Amino acid sequence: MKQLIFIVLLLLVACSTQTEQITIGGLHTLSGNLVDVLGGSAHGIHMAIEDFERETGIAVRAIDEDDKSCTDKTNAANKLINFDKVDAIVGTTCSSMTLSVAPMTEAAKILLVTGVSTSAAISEAGDYIFRTIPSDATKSVKVAEEIIANGYSRVGFLYANGNDAIVDGIQGVKEHLPSTYVVADEPVTDDEADFRTSLLKVMNKKPDVLVISFSDSRQFGLVMKQYDELGLAKLPTYVPIETIENDLVLEVGGKSVEGLLYPYFKEPEGAAYESFRARYKAKYGVDVPAYAAEAYDAAMITLKALAQSSSGEDAREQMFVIGNNYPGVSGTITFDETGDVHKPLVMKTIKNGAFVHA
């Protein structure tokens, strides 16, 4: 009889676990000029939620908020934390968003997990922040190394100054070059569309190589198209940010963007990624865009951590346990002590209208 009662209790516990609900908040780019660049993040997160619910039987309540292309930095987060009482926030996109929201999630002791934000400053922004995408610091080092290895010594910088990831990435390149190498530094606004004056200012300093960086992929196409229209001698041009790999760059820039050089994460391999890729294309009608795989992993690891936790502190500890050699669709994930991951980089370029290995 006692054995029967024990079995019944076990079944009751199992059933209660299956009906458990996790509530996560999503801060997604759902409108504005950055949707084409960052929209894949929300799709990846929702695919992870579907897979998690099917695999575990645990219900997930996902509350999505629109950051309006990273312009609503705290209102939506405040609602998610203080009104909706979410267990975690997954999906902040722009680094400026993540850095603005971080003090709020830290105070509430809930996870803030991103598959998009790359600013080096995020590494020191809090104890509850994790990301499945490497810091810009690694890409900046790679660009600086390429410049030095190829014998360039006069570098001109042209970049948007309203996004932390862009500014940090540019600063990182400078820090890893001899100070005498920087001959021109020309910041522009995030919505700049006419780069002619800025290009002439940079070129008047007689650089032998350029470094450009923007969060809006259209700007890469515009600046290179205007570069050609001015009839300027074409210089080797490096890009230390992954937003370059977007079809909008090709649509706007055409042949003018051919030859741009940039570090990019080594493409994921294996059955898990190929399955994700096929399912993504079947669901959304396009190939996997930037950030979608990283966002999927961010959501899946977070959900698994929350499922095994009773508090924010527990969830944080579980992130390190689960995120230790985790076989994600974006590659193997191991969080370091700051919640960062490290993945190999390769140099890529644009050739014949395609993004290929350099």
Q: What is the pLDDT along the chain (358 residues), one digit of tens a residue?
A: 444 444 434 344 444 434 389 999 999 989 988 888 888 999 999 999 999 999 999 999 999 999 888 888 789 999 999 999 999 999 888 888 999 999 999 999 999 999 999 888 999 999 999 999 999 889 999 999 999 999 999 999 999 998 888 998 999 999 999 999 999 999 999 889 999 999 999 999 999 999 999 988 899 999 999 999 999 999 999 999 988 998 899 999 999 999 999 999 888 888 999 999 999 999 999 999 889 999 999 999 999 999 999 999 999 999 999 999 999 999 999 999 999 999 989 999 999 999 999 9
Closest CA to 212 of 259, 166, 154: 166
Tokens linked to 268: 């994921």
Query: Which residue in the block uniquely carries the two structure tokens 């991103």?
Result: 114
Tokens linked to 303: 């959900």
| Structural domain boundaries in the chain | 2-133+269-333, 137-259
Looking at the structure, give the CATH architecture of the domain made up of residues 2-133+269-333.
3-Layer(aba) Sandwich (3.40)
Q: Are 170 and 211 in contact (CB under 8 A)?
A: yes
Closest CA to 298 of 122, 63, 117, 65: 117
pTM: 0.82
CATH topology identical between 2-133+269-333 and 137-259: yes
Q: What is the rounded distance in angstroms from the CA atom of residue 304 to the CA atom of residue 315?
A: 9
Helices 292-307 and 40-56, packing angle to 10 deg: 40
Q: Are 218 and 245 in contact (CB under 8 A)?
A: no
Tokens linked to 152: 């360039």
Q: What is the dihedral of CA 215, 163, 328, 84, to 10 degrees?
A: -120
- Domain 137-259 is found in CATH 3.40.50.2300: yes
Residue 345: how many CB atoms within 10 A of its CB?
17
